[in-house]
Amino acid sequence: MAALLSIVHGQTELLAQKVSRLEASALKGRGVIELDSTTFEEVMAAPRNYTMVVLFTAIAPEFQCVPCKNFDPEYRMVAAGWSKLLNRSQLFFGVIDFKLGQEVFQKFSMNSAPSVLFFPLGSLENDRYDFGKR
């Protein structure tokens, strides 16, 4: 029984540290957590008691993604507004650019940008809004 309690306590502590890092990253990014392939996997790994909304984009100049450039400020405005709420629950906003996250784009079979994926509490299942499809 003591071993089980030790494991549970360790998981709880790990999760608290993870959420604390996310909150600090969101504060630094005015509501948005900048992601690359490595940080995306870390953020999405278990344990996870929070929800993620992730913008998959291609802002780098070499991609010339006009919809990406047009949507980015709007997404960041929503994230900044959400981060100012007193009762934000466990919802975080992330952004991953194709230039820094090609592996993640491939993992989710992304072939257009921008797209927004909603990952509910603790799940890798997602709801996708793809701006290229109507």
The domain segmentation of the chain, as residue ranges, is 2-130
pTM of the model: 0.86
- In this prediction, residues 56-84 reach a mean pLDDT of 93
Measure the N-to-C terminal CA separation of the chain; round to a whole number of Å: 54
Contact 94, 35 (CB under 8 A): yes
Does an H or E element contain 32, and which? Answer: strand 32-35
- In this prediction, residues 47-76 reach a mean pLDDT of 93
* pLDDT for residue 6: 47
Is the per-residue pLDDT at 4 higher than 50? no
Alpha-carbon distance of 96 to 32, in angstroms, equals 10
Q: Which CATH superfamily is 2-130 part of?
A: Glutaredoxin (3.40.30.10)
Burial class (CB in 10 A: 0-12, 13-18, 19+), 131: middle
